[in-house]
Structure 1
C-alpha cells in the first residue's frame, strides 16, 4: 500500500515533503487538496487534520500531519541520512528544524496570509503585522546568513532535512517580498539548492505554476 500525501500543489509545506520524498527515493501517492476551494475544511479532511491544513500523510492506518514530522517519518522508513548520519548530526538537524518552525517559517506564513491570502477575499493587508513579521524574519535571517558564511549547507556537507525545512519561505518570497534578498549568503545557499537538489528545483516549478495560476484566475496583480 502506497503512502498517500494530501496537499495543495502551491503549498511550500507540501513542497518540503515532496522534495524530501523524491530525494530519499520514497514513493508516494499524491492526493490534491485545493485550498482555494476550501477542500481542507471538509468534514472528511478535518478527520485527517482538525486544523484544516496540509500536507497530511496517510500510511495504512497511520495519519500524520506537520511537514517536519512527516519528513522525519519518511527518513526513518527509508533509512535515509537526510535526517542525520550520526547521533550528533541528527540532533543538529533537529535543532535547525525546530528553529525553522519557531523563528522563521511562522513569520513567512504570516506574511503570506496578510499579503496574498487576504487578497483572495478582498481584504487589505495589515501593514503593522507585515512589518512585525519582516522584523522577525530579518532577525532570524541575520543569524542564518552568518551561519552560512563558511558552509555550503545548513548541517554538514550535503543536503539534509534542515535545508528543506529552512528553504520553505523561498517558495513565496518573490510574491510576498519578505526581505530574504538582503542576505547574500542566504541567497547563494538557495541558488545552490536549486542547482544541486533536482527535487527542490522541480517543486519550485510546481508551486510557481499553481500560485501564479490562482492569482491570474482571481485577477490579482502583484
Structure 2
C-alpha cells in the first residue's frame, strides 16, 4: 500500500480521509495526534504515542502539523492541498472537469479557510461565540446564495471535493443553531453531505478517538 494519510480524525485529516473513502482509495491511515493534546510534556519521549512532535513524524512533516500524505515517494502537507491532489489524481465526478472547475475548487477551498474557518473554529472552542457567529453571517450569506444557484452544491451542479472541503470547515460552527437556522440551504447541504456513507464511515471512526 503506497498511499498513507497521517493525522487523527479530530484534526483537519478528516477532510482527506473522508475524500479517500468517497473515492474508494486503498490507503493506510496513521493516527498521529497533536502534541499539544498530550498530558506528558515530553511529546518526543520514546514511550509517547506517535504525535506531531515525534521524531518519526517530523521526518515526514518537519512543520509538525497534521495532516500529511505520502504517495509513494511523493509527500504533501496541508489538508486542502491534499484533497485537491487526491481528487485530481483519481478523477471521476468528484474531481474538476476542466481548468475552470479546478480553479473554482481552489477558490472555494481558500475562501472557506480564510473567511469561515477562523470564526467557526472559535465557535467550536467556545470563544466569543456570539461575536464570531455575527461575523459569519456575511460569508454564510455568500455560501447560501451559491448553494441556491448551484442546485444545493458548491459548484458544478453535483457533489464534489469542494463540498467536502467547505463542509468540514462550516461544521465547526454547527453548535450555533441560531446561525444555521437563518441559512436553510447551508443546513440542508451540510446534512446531505454528512449523510453520505463515506462521511459516516469517517465520522464513526472519529467518534472512537479520544476527545
TM-score, normalized by length of structure 2? 0.80
Q: In the alignment, does 2:96 pair up with 1:84?
A: yes
Q: Check conservation: 2:8, 2:32, Cα contact below 8 A.
A: yes
For residue 135 of structure 2, what is the aligned residue in structure 1? 136
1:98-149 deviation digits (Å, cap 9, x = unpaired) = 211111123323444x43xxxxxxxxx5x3xx45533332221111112222
Length-normalised TM-score, structure 1: 0.77
Closer, same or farther: CA 76–148 of 1 in aligned 2, 3 Å:
closer
Aligned to 2:86: 74
**2:73 maps to which residue?**
61
Residues 1:15 and 1:181: Cα distance change in structure 2 (over 3 Å): farther
* Greater share of residues in helix: 1
**Equivalent residue number for residue 51 of structure 1:** 63
For residues 194 and 146 of structure 2, the distance between their equivalents in structure 1, rounded to whole angstroms, comes to: 19
SS of 2:66's partner is coil
In the TM superposition, residue 181 of structure 1 has moved relative to its aligned partner by 4.2
Counterpart of 1:15? 14
Deviation of 1:171 after TM superposition, in Å, equals 4.5
Are residues 136 and 81 of structure 1, via their aligned partners in 2, closer, same or farther at CA, if it must alter by over 3 Å?
same
> What secondary structure does 1:83 align onto?
coil
Equivalent-residue separation in structure 2 for 1:111 and 1:104 (angstroms): 11
Structure 2: stretches of 5+ with no match in the other structure: 44-50
- Judging changes above 3 Å, is the alpha-carbon distance between structure 1 residues 154 and 22 closer, same or farther for their aligned structure 2 residues? same
Query: What's the offset of the Cα at 1:194?
Result: 2.7
Aligned pairs, how many? 197
| Cross-structure match for 2:24 | 25
Runs of 4+ in structure 1 deviating by more than 6 angstroms, as ranges, are: none
Name the CA shift for 1:142/1:167 in 2 (closer, same or farther; >3 Å).
same
- Asked if 1 retains the 8 angstrom alpha-carbon contact of 2:15 and 2:79, the reply is yes
- Please state whether the residue corresponding to 1:48 is helix, strand or coil: coil
CA distance 1:172–1:104, shift in 2 (3 Å):
closer
Q: 1:5 to 1:181 in 2, by over 3 A?
A: farther
The answer to whether the 8 A contact 1:97-1:161 is kept is: no
